[in-house]
Structures are given as structure tokens and as C-alpha cells.
């Protein structure tokens, strides 16, 4: 594997370098800070300044949540976050896909598109698990169709009818093609 810059630098250095610059380098840089304007900060007053933005290394960190399951970590940070979600630990094929996604940073399409794929796979895994446990899909309850029936009945009925027609047409088309193929082959 080639030696990349990310592997060469050693954090934490940012504040050390910035503070050193402000002590030493600014003397070499003509006009350093002369146009600084505390009022020219578009993030305020949305974010109320306490003047300690750069003391970020010194804040008291929250206690680490106990980890008793696999937690995926972004490569943009050295450790897992202090608190993390436990609702959907990686498992099965979806988990394999998610582990792959976390090899890439959030700046990559691969990260997000792979996670979306993993999410879709997880839905199918969930349905299979439901069936294994004797739970049948119930869209009437799970997809809020009951509310649609009550509050939006004409549109709901139209949509369901169109969907049923499209599915029926699709099935008929596929079966006709296979019948034609059989006739040609015979």
C-alpha cells in the first residue's frame, strides 16, 4: 500500500501549530490580523460565542457509552462517538455491506450509496426474520393504509387500482412472452 499523507501526520497538532503561528509567524507576516472583525462572523448569533472556540481540546468529554455490540466508526474520526445508536447493529448481508461502506469517508458517493443499499437489504432481512418468527406482512397497519382509507379514500382506491392493474398487466406480459417462446421452440 502506498504511503499517503494521512498516515504521515500525527494529530493532535492543529491548535499547537495555530498557537505557535500566532506567537511567532505573525511577526513575519505584514498586516497580520489588521482586518480582523469579530462582527464579521455569519455563524453568530446563531451560535453564541463564548470566545473559546479554539479550546476545543480542553472541554470535558461526556462519559463513553458502554459498547457491547459492534459499532461502525467513520474513518474521519479516531474513536467511536461518546454515545452511539444501538437500534440496528450490523448483521447478515446488510452488515457486510455496511462494514464496507465505513471504509470510505462521508465525502464519497461510495459511502452513502452503499449505506442506502445496505438499508434496502436490511428491509428484506427484516421481512425474512418476521416470517421466520411467524409474523406476516400487514401493510394495512405497517404502511398506514388504514389512515389513508379513512382520510384519503378516493385517491387511495385509485392508486391501489392502478397498481393492481400495472402488476396484472406485467404478469400477463411476462407469461405471454414465455408462452410465445415455448411455441417457437416446439
Shortest Å, Cβ 106 to another protein: 6
- CA–CA separation, 45 and 56 (whole Å): 19
| 52 lies in the site for another protein, by CB under 8 A | no
Nearer to another protein, 56 or 67 (CB): 56
Nearer to another protein, 5 or 136 (CB): 5
| 12 lies in the site for another protein, by CB under 8 A | yes
* Nearest Cα residue to 120 out of 148, 136, 101, 139: 101
| 82 lies in the site for another protein, by CB under 8 A | no
- CA–CA separation, 102 and 111 (whole Å): 6
Nearer to another protein, 14 or 70 (CB): 14
Where along the sequence are the contacts to another protein (CB under 8 A)?
4-6, 9, 11-15, 17-19, 21-22, 25-26, 28-38, 40-43, 46-47, 53-54, 56-57, 75-78, 104-109
Amino acid at each position: 500500500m502506498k504511503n499517503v499523507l494521512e498516515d504521515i501526520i500525527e494529530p493532535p497538532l492543529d491548535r499547537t501549530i495555530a498557537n505557535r503561528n500566532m506567537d511567532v509567524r505573525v511577526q513575519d507576516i505584514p498586516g497580520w490580523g489588521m482586518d480582523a472583525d469579530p462582527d464579521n462572523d455569519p455563524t453568530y448569533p446563531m451560535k453564541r460565542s463564548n470566545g473559546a472556540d479554539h479550546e476545543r481540546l480542553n472541554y470535558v468529554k461526556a462519559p463513553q457509552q458502554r459498547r457491547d455490540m459492534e459499532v461502525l466508526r467513520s474513518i474521519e474520526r479516531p474513536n467511536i462517538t461518546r454515545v452511539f445508536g444501538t437500534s440496528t447493529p450490523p448483521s447478515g448481508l446488510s452488515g457486510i455491506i455496511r462494514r464496507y461502506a465505513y471504509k470510505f469517508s462521508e465525502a464519497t458517493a461510495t459511502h452513502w450509496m452503499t449505506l442506502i443499499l445496505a438499508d434496502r437489504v436490511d428491509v428484506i432481512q427484516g421481512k425474512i426474520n418476521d416470517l421466520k418468527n411467524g409474523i406476516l406482512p400487514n401493510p394495512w397497519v405497517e404502511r398506514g393504509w388504514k389512515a389513508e382509507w379513512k382520510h384519503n379514500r378516493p385517491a387511495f382506491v385509485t392508486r391501489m387500482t392502478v397498481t393492481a392493474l400495472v402488476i396484472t398487466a406485467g404478469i400477463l406480459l411476462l407469461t405471454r412472452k414465455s408462452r410465445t417462446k415455448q411455441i417457437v421452440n416446439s
